[in-house]
Amino acid sequence: MKIVHTKQALESSLEGVRANGRKIALVPTMGALHAGHLSLIQEAQQIADLVVCSIFVNPTQFNDPKDLEKYPRPVENDLQLLQQAACDVVFMPTVEEMYPKNDSPWHIDLGDLDQIWEGEKRPGHFQGVTQVVYKLFKLVLPDVACFGQKDFQQVMVIQRLIDLKELPVKIHICPTIRSEEGLALSSRNVRLSAAGKQKALVLFRTLSYLKKHFTTKSPLSLKEEGLQLLQDEQEVEVEYLAICESRTLAEAKQIDPDKKYVALLVAWIEGVRLIDNMILN
């Protein structure tokens, strides 16, 4: 496994690969890796000849400087996990490397995608995400980039970036990795007590219920029933639950059989914000 810290070192480590026409996959991360991230590496290995994993805690996607400060950075453990996963190249740049002083300002038209759901709750977040992902795409020039379904809205945002900038990158969406009981794996889960983790299973139960009854009930009545299921579990504070058309993430009033739909859910348990979703059809 090769570990590089500069754009120059990254480019020189990939030169020969491109020259030989081998396929490159990129797995962008902010570190604090868990089994969900490692599943992205494994999927990338199935579809490409060489896997680049980036570890970079991107300052432009944090609304609150305290969150940026608190973000876990277990570098040694991350590198050990990537070594065990047989990752080929790890790119670990500094902030100065990614955002030089002469950097031009960034703004991209994401339409409603950065105004609704996560976009509304975290203003500017997706501008920061697209900014860093665009930089990584230009540096790595991957054929394919692997992202987890767990951050579904983020994946749609990156797809929009690819469309707008006409980038030759294919997105590969990898399924959400869950505990045996169904809790979506997240670096935030470590902040939950054992009881909190049990309580958090209501997210998976609710999403599974929506999927099961998706074809037989209207989106409105399904949403009401889903909210009731969440409310019945004590000490779960729902931020939002929505049944949306997959590409635009506009909330569905009725179902068009030609379109794909996803249920998005965010809830707070023990002061921890948990994000989950499920593809419904």
- End residue of a domain, out of 174, 209, 226: 174
Q: Which domain holds residue 61?
A: 2-174
How deeply is 99 buried, as exposed, middle or buried, from its count of CB atoms within 10 A (0-12, 13-18, 19+)? Answer: middle
- Residue 19 has a pLDDT of 87
Same structural domain, 131 and 202 = no
Classify residue 93: in a domain, yes or no: yes
Task: Read off the pLDDT of residues 188-216 as tens digits, 9 standing for 90 and up.
Answer: 898 999 999 999 999 999 999 999 999 99
- Residue 278 has a pLDDT of 98
- Give the model's confidence band at 220: pLDDT under 50 very low, under 70 low, under 90 confident, else very high: very high
- End residue of a domain, out of 112, 142, 174: 174
Task: Read off the pLDDT of residues 75-122 as tens digits, 9 standing for 90 and up.
Answer: 999 999 999 999 999 999 999 999 999 999 999 999 999 999 999 999
What average pLDDT does the chain have? 96
* Strands of the sheet with 272-279, listed across from one edge: 237-245, 261-269, 272-279
- End residue of a domain, out of 124, 152, 174: 174
Classify residue 179: in a domain, yes or no: no
Tally the domains of the chain.
Answer: 2
pTM for this prediction: 0.94
Q: Which of 34, 37, 125, 172 is labelled catalytic?
A: 37
Q: Mean pLDDT throughout 66-76?
A: 92
214 backbone dihedrals φ, ψ, rounded to 5° = -60, -40
Q: Mean pLDDT throughout 163-171?
A: 98
- Residue 54 has a pLDDT of 98
Catalytic status, residue 125: no
Same structural domain, 214 and 250 = yes
